[in-house]
Amino acid sequence: MATIHIDYLGELRTECTHLQSGTHINTDAPTDNQGRGEAFSPTDLVANALGTCIITTMAIFAQRDGIELKGSKLEVTKVMTSQPPRRIARIEVDLILHTENMPDDKTRTRLETIAHTCPVAISLHPDIEQAVRIRWEESISVAD
């Protein structure tokens, strides 16, 4: 059974529907490849998939240990090759992980290992460099 339905809208754009939820996203070719850059490009979605997979997988395991990562932030940078064939050369993911209770070193190491071995990370071609940087910050809880 299909997971996603895609309609090609013309002018290098698509509308994608997640069949289970009905959620829509659009894509557009990037400005450096004949598009308008008015939506995620297909390669942007690959980079986004890596970032969201990392934080989601880490959060799944963190919550098992009673660790909440809500409020964490990621910045993802996609770098394309400068020479043909056109492809993703590098994806940089900068994570700032916020938690009210800082995990011990063993737990942080385990969660950081998960970041590097999430399903998308291990599915990407080995020629795509993955530069994942993680910084832990303890959130300060403010009492009412």
Residues 46 and 100 in one domain: yes
Residues 66 and 115 in one domain: yes
75 band by pLDDT with thresholds 50, 70 and 90: very high
In eight-state DSSP terms, residue 103 is P
Residues 46 and 36 in one domain: no
Query: What does the pLDDT read at residue 102?
Result: 87
What are the residues facing 11 on neighbouring strands?
Answer: none
Q: Is the pLDDT of residue 143 over 70?
A: no
| Segments forming the whole domain that contains residue 22 | 1-40
Residues 69 and 140 in one domain: yes
Mean pLDDT of the chain: 94
Instruction: Mark out the alpha helices in 65-129 (DSSP H runs).
Output: 105-116, 119-123
Residues 29 and 60 in one domain: no
Give helix 42-64 / helix 105-116 axis angle, nearest 10°.
150
Q: Is the pLDDT of residue 22 over 80?
A: yes
Query: What does the pLDDT read at residue 100?
Result: 85
Residues 17 and 78 in one domain: no
User: How many domains would you assign to the chain?
Assistant: 2
Residues 16 and 51 in one domain: no
Residues 102 and 67 in one domain: yes
Q: Is the pLDDT of residue 142 over 60?
A: no
Residues 61 and 31 in one domain: no
What are the residues facing 79 on neighbouring strands?
Answer: 90
Tell me which residue has tokens 């690959």: 46
Q: Is the pLDDT of residue 28 over 80?
A: yes
